[in-house]
Amino acid sequence: MASLDRYTCEDVFRRLDAYMDRELNADDVRLLEQHLETCATCAAEHKFESRLLAGLKQKVRRIAVPSNLMDKISRLIADQPGDSGGAGGLNGPGGSRGGGAGPTN
Ligand SMILES: [Zn+2]
């Protein structure tokens, strides 16, 4: 009952991600490309997505994480006091400006 000789736009949209990731088998690819050739909407969508993907890849390559960044981050994490219990005892208001709440005769 399923006519597998042609993809509808929905079929293409559903498989576009897999197609771009080259996860489709040869038959699916052929059907999908056949549709792309005859459907301007899907062709435009595919063009848009592939350009997006290409742009992303370029960006990722450009901002390759410097190797010492991870080092810095892990050092920062190690420096954190963590939960050693001393919550704000160091330089809090000791009592020099007390007497705000109590009634002063
Ligand atoms: Zn289409």
| Tens digits of pLDDT across the chain (105 residues) | 544 578 999 999 999 999 999 999 999 999 999 999 999 999 999 999 999 988 988 888 787 777 788 888 889 889 887 665 555 555 655 555 555 666 666
pLDDT at 91: 60
Query: Which residues have their alpha-adjacent CB atom under 5 A from ion ligand 1?
Result: 9, 39, 41-42
33 CA to centre of ligand 1 in angstroms: 10
40 CA to centre of ligand 1 in angstroms: 7
Q: Which residues of 33-52 are buried (b: 16+ CB within 10 A; e: fewer)?
A: bebbeebeebeebbeeeeee
Residue 23 DSSP symbol: -
pLDDT at 104: 63
What are residue 93's phi and psi, to 5 degrees? -65, 105
How crowded is the C-beta side of 67, counted as CA atoms within 13 Å? 0
10 CA to centre of ligand 1 in angstroms: 7
Question: How many Å apart are CA 93 and CA 66, to the nearest integer?
Answer: 41
